[in-house]
Chain A
Amino acid sequence: MLSESRTNVPEAKGELQTQEVQKFPIWEVFTKKKESAVHLHAGSLSAPDSELAQCFAREHYGQDQPCVNMWVTRRDFLTADSGENESYELFVQWGAGLRYEHVGEVEACNGVEARDKCKELFCADKKHFTIWSCPNSGITKIDGSTNMIWRETTDQAYRLASGYSKVVRKKWEALRESKAVDDYQSEDLKDTY
C-alpha cells in the first residue's frame, strides 16, 4: 500500500552518523497580500544564501496565502547601524506583539540616520515599539512575474476554508437542524473564514 521508498525504512538508534551543519543566516520576509496593501512582516527563515532564501520564502509565505509581492532580506541588515549613502526601506512595529509594517522610504547615509528620519517623518507623535531599516540594495523584491507566488488566475479555493463553507453547510443541513449547525459553527474562528 505504501510508496516503495518509504516502506521498510531501517530502524536505527543512537547518535546520528551525519554531520551537524553550521548555523545558517536568518532572513526576514515581508509580504503584500494585495496591490492596495502595504508590506507586512510575515516571518523569518534560515537559509545559506540569498537564492535559497528566496525559494523558501516563496514556499512558506508566498504560496499558502494570497500574496502579490514579497521582499526578502537578511535579518542583520535590519538593525545594522552602518551603511552606504542610499535609499532605505523603513518598517515600524507599532506595539509589542504586532507585525512590522512598511511605512516608507528615505535617503540616508547609514542605518542609524535612516531610523532617525523614520521617527521624524513617519512616527511623529505616534507611540512605536521598534523600527527596522533596510538598504534597498540588500532587499530582494519578488513579484507575480516570477510565477512562484500566489497565482490569482488559478482557482486555489480548495486550499482556503472559505472554499468549503457553502458546500459543508449544505451537507450539515441535510443531517441537522439549521440552529444546531449555527451553534456548532459559532465556534469557528471568525477571522479565519
Chain B
Amino acid sequence: MSASANVEVKVGDCSNEDPQKLAAFEEHVANGGLIEPNDWMPEAYRSLMLRMAEHHANSEIVGALPEGEWIVKAPSLLRKLALTAKVQDEVGHGQMLYEVAQDLGKSRNAMLRDLITGVTKYHNCFNYPCPTWADICMIAWLIDGAAILNQGTLAHGSFGPYIRTMRRINMEEAFHFKHGEDMVLTLMSGTDSQKQMAQEAFDRWWEPSIAFFGPNDRPDELERPAMRWRMKTATNDDLRQKFVNRFAPAAMATGLVINVCTKDDQGNVTSATPDPLLKLDEETGHWGFTQPNWEEFFRVIRGNGPCNKDRLALRRFSYEQGEWVRKAILDGTTTPCKN
C-alpha cells in the first residue's frame, strides 16, 4: 500500500507489522543505521517520513512567495542577484524534497494539488506579512538561521535520501543566512530611519522565529516515533533554547531590542515592550525568554493568519495559469522520451 500524507494513520502504530522485522529495524536505527527507500520499513515510518518531507517541500515553495515579491524592489544589483538566487534555491529545495517524498509513495502532482486545496500544510511562519525590505533581511537572518539549526539536526536522521538532501540544502541555506546577516548588519550600521525599519521588522519576525521550532515538547517527547526512529534528533524546546542563546545576544549587540509584541489580525505590531524574561542564567548558560503566543500560533495554523489566503491564492493562480504548459508538454509538442 502506498502511504498518503492526508490519510490520518495512527502515528507509530505498528501492530500490523511483523514483530521480528520491526525489532530488527528498530535496533538498526537505534544503533545509528540508515534506511534507504528499498529497505524494509514499518508503514508508520514510511507515512511519517513522507509527511515530514512533504511538509518541508511545501514550506520551501510557499516561503519563496513573499521573497519573490521583493526581487523587483531590491535596493542594489548585488542584493537583487542574491535574492533571485535565494528564491531559485528555495524552489529547488522544494523540488528535491518532493522527489524524496514521491519515492515514499505519493505522486508529486498530488502533493502540489493538496498544497493548493489546503489538504496539507506548510510552515506557519510564511503566513505573516512582509511589508518592507527589512523583513526580507530578517527572514534571511532569523528564519534561515532557525532553519539551519533545525536542518543541521535533521541531517543526522535515519532516512538516507532525506539526509543527503538536507546536507545539500544546508549548504545553500548557509549562503542565505550569511547574506541575511550582511543585510541586517548593513541596516544596523546605517541611518536612524534604517535602524528603525530594522527594529520594526525584527518585532514582526522574532516571535515567528522562536515559534519556528514548533509547539512545546510533550512529556513523552523522546518516546514518540519521530524521535525514537531518529527522524528528528533534537526536540523543539532544545532547538528553541539553542536559537535564543545564539540570536538574542547577537541581536542586542547590533542594537536591536527584543520585544514582546501584540499584533492585530493583519500581523501589524500594535504594542512592543522589552521582554521581561530576557536574562542570561549564568549557571546554565541559557537565556530566558517569553514563549511565543501559542494560542495565536494554532489559530494561524488553522488557516486564520494574516496571509494564509493570499499565499494559497497566488500558488493556485500560478498552478492554474501553468496548465497550458503541462498540456503542451503532454500532447507531445516537445521531444518524446528516449526509448
In the complex, the answer to whether B338 meets A16 with C-beta atoms within 8 Å is: no
Across the interface, do A3 and B72 meet the contact criterion of CB distance under 8 Å?
A: yes
Known: A11-B309, A26-B99, A138-B338. A64 touches B89 (CB 8 A): yes
Question: Closest residue to A6 on the B side, CB-wise?
Answer: B314
Instruction: Please give, as numbers and ranges, the residues of chain B lying within 8 Å of A17 by CB-CB distance.
Output: 320
In the bound complex, CA of A3 to CA of B330 (Å): 31
Of the candidates A6, A25, A52, A56, which one forms a contact with B69 in the assembled complex, judged by CB atoms under 8 Å apart?
Answer: A6
By a CB distance below 8 angstroms, the chain A residues around B69 are: 2-3, 6
**Cβ B314 vs Cβ A9 within 8 A:** yes
Q: Among B34, B103, B189, which residue has its beta carbon within 8 angstroms of that of A171?
A: B189
Chain A positions 1 through 14: 1 when the CB is less than 8 Å from some CB of chain B, otherwise 0 = 11100100111101
- Give the B interface residue count (CB, 8 A): 76
Knowing A43-B99, A164-B179, A171-B182 are in contact, say whether A11-B313 is a contact too (CB < 8 A).
yes
A-contacting 9-mer, from B170-178, B260-268, B276-284: B170-178
Q: How far is the CA of A42 from the CA of B95 in the complex (A)?
A: 13
A49-B335, A172-B185, A184-B250 known; A12 and B316 CB under 8 Å? Answer: yes
A174 to B78 alpha-carbon distance, docked (Å):
23
Which partner residue on chain B sits nearest A99 by CB separation? B164
Q: Tell whether, in the assembled complex, residue B323 and residue A164 are in contact, meaning their CB atoms are under 8 Å apart.
A: no
Query: Knowing A9-B313, A16-B113, A174-B189 touch, does A50 contact B335 (C-beta < 8 A)?
Result: yes
Interface-facing stretch out of B10-18, B80-88, B215-223: B80-88
Q: Mark A126-147, 1 if CB is under 8 A from B, else 0.
A: 0001100000001000000000
| Residue in B113, B168, B189, B338 whose CB lies within 8 Å of A74 | B338
The answer on a CB contact under 8 Å between A19 and B246 is no
Residues of B within 8 A of A172 (CB): 181, 185, 253
Contact with B along A29-57 (1 / 0, CB 8 A): 00000000000001111101111100010
A164 contacts B117, C-beta separation under 8 Å: no
Number of A-B pairs, beta carbon distance below 8 Å: 173
Count of interface residues, chain A, beta-carbon cutoff 8 Å: 68
The majority secondary structure among interface residues of chain A is: loop
Indicate if the CB atoms of B82 and A19 lie closer than 8 Å.
no
Q: How far is the CA of A98 from the CA of B113 in the complex (A)?
A: 32
Contacts of B117 in A (CB 8 A): 14-16
Say yes or no for B3: interface residue by CB 8 A criterion: no
Q: Does B42 sit at the interface, judged by CB under 8 A?
A: no
Chain A nearest CB: distance from B165 CB in Å?
A: 7
Q: Beyond A23-B107, A138-B339, is A12–B148 a contact (Cβ under 8 Å)?
A: no
Q: Does A124 contact B (CB under 8 A)?
A: no
User: A65 interface residue, CB < 8 Å from B?
Assistant: yes
- A159 CA to B222 CA in the complex, in Å? 38
Hey, which chain B residues are within 8 Å of A161, CB to CB? 171, 174-175, 177-178
Give the complex CA separation of A60 and B96 in angstroms: 8
**Segment among A102-110, A112-120, A185-193 that sits at the interface with chain B:** A185-193
| Chain B proximity of A185: nearest CB distance (Å) | 10
> Is B316 touching A192 in the complex (CB atoms < 8 A)?
no
The 5 A-B residue pairs with the shortest CB-CB distance, nearest first, are A97-B34, A164-B178, A161-B174, A171-B185, A192-B174
**A20-B109, A97-B160, A158-B85 provided; 5 other pairs, C-beta below 8 A?**
A9-B313, A44-B99, A64-B85, A64-B89, A97-B163
Can you spell out 15 A-B residue pairs with CB atoms less than 8 angstroms apart? A10-B317, A16-B316, A16-B319, A20-B113, A21-B109, A22-B330, A43-B96, A50-B335, A60-B95, A64-B88, A97-B36, A138-B339, A168-B182, A184-B249, A192-B170
Interface residues of B (CB under 8 A from A): 33-36, 39, 69, 72-73, 78, 81-82, 85, 88-89, 92, 95-96, 98-99, 102-103, 107-110, 113, 116-117, 148-149, 152, 160, 163-165, 168, 170-172, 174-175, 177-179, 181-182, 185-186, 188-189, 242, 246, 249-250, 253-255, 309-310, 313-314, 316-317, 319-320, 323, 326-327, 329-330, 334-339
Interface residue ranges, A against B (CB under 8 Å): 1-3, 6, 9-12, 14-26, 42-46, 48-52, 56, 59-60, 63-65, 74, 93, 95-99, 129-130, 138, 158-161, 163-165, 167-168, 171-172, 174-176, 180, 184, 187-189, 192-193
